[in-house]
Chains A and B, each alone.
Chain A
Amino acid sequence: MSADLAIQLSELKQKVEQMEPGKQNKLAMVVFSGDLDKLLAAMIIATGAAAMGMKVVQFFTFWGTAALRNPGAEANGKDFMSKMFGWMLPNGRNKVKLSKMNMGGMGTVMMKNLMKKKNAPSLDQLFDIAAQLGVEIKICEMSMDLMGFKHEEMIDYPNLEYVGVATFLAHARESTNQLFI
């Protein structure tokens, strides 16, 4: 009888959990964009949310993955297409450009100078703060494969993980907030 009750209780718990998703004080964010402006917004919101006491999980996918490349790292054994992608995509967060007013790179340089003048944190600083505050970064494995990136080419970041869409969805459904940037 008590075993029966235990099973019923666990089934009931599961049902209640399914009825009440989004109860955790957590932000699940997709970082799809590889543009400087959108990455800045993503990192400012992520660090801000962590400062507000929220758990933050960022999923980098598609163009966003290029921002996580480590320019100092190299990978061997890449095929022709992967090498092409490697040359054409930004090699890390300091090579990404503005989505508007880039003007052949001039706009991006001007924006970075302006940010320095205004003391606004750079992407480098924001990633540092994110790591300090425990912001979790997950990378879409399929995007890595599509772009031809290898794990050893990506940045050093605490507990960096390579995941699929189900991981994002599992986090998203139990989070109070979800964003797609």
Chain B
Amino acid sequence: MADHNASKVLDLKGLPCPMPVVKISQEIGTVKVGEVIEVHTTDPGSLSDFPAWAKTTGNEVLETRQGDGIIQIFVKRLK
């Protein structure tokens, strides 16, 4: 599967709410517009929280993958 050419991997395993969205909001500014961050999380709430965060902040969730209790989320910085 394509890895969306992520320029950064963010390991948020074991961190519960609200840390995943706090971390992505702090990290999104560290990549350039158009670049992708690959997030690894174990928080099931992230499945709905990341799209909600992206919609509000004007960024994009490209893909979400689940497996082995770990959720992979690909976030693209749009602005």
- A13→B56 CA distance, assembly (Å): 27
A48 CA to B21 CA in the complex, in Å? 7
A121 within 8 A of B: yes
- Separation in Å of the A119 CB from the closest CB of chain B? 5
User: Separation in Å of the B11 CB from the closest CB of chain A?
Assistant: 13
- Assess whether B9 is interfacial by the CB under 8 Å rule: no
Question: Which of the four size classes fits the interface of chain A?
Answer: 10 to 19
Tell me, in angstroms, the Cα distance from A7 to B1 when the chains sit together.
63
Contacts of A131 in B (CB 8 A): none
A47 in contact (CB, < 8 A): yes
A45 to chain B: closest residue by CB: B18
Contact partners of A121 in chain B: CB under 8 A: 16, 18-19
Other CB < 8 Å A-B pairs besides A51-B25, A52-B52, 17 of them? Answer: A44-B17, A47-B22, A48-B18, A48-B21, A50-B22, A50-B25, A51-B18, A51-B22, A51-B24, A51-B26, A52-B53, A53-B56, A119-B15, A120-B16, A121-B18, A132-B26, A133-B25
- Kindly list the 6 A-B residue pairs having the minimum CB-CB distance in the complex, ordered from nearest: A51-B25, A48-B18, A51-B21, A53-B57, A51-B22, A52-B56
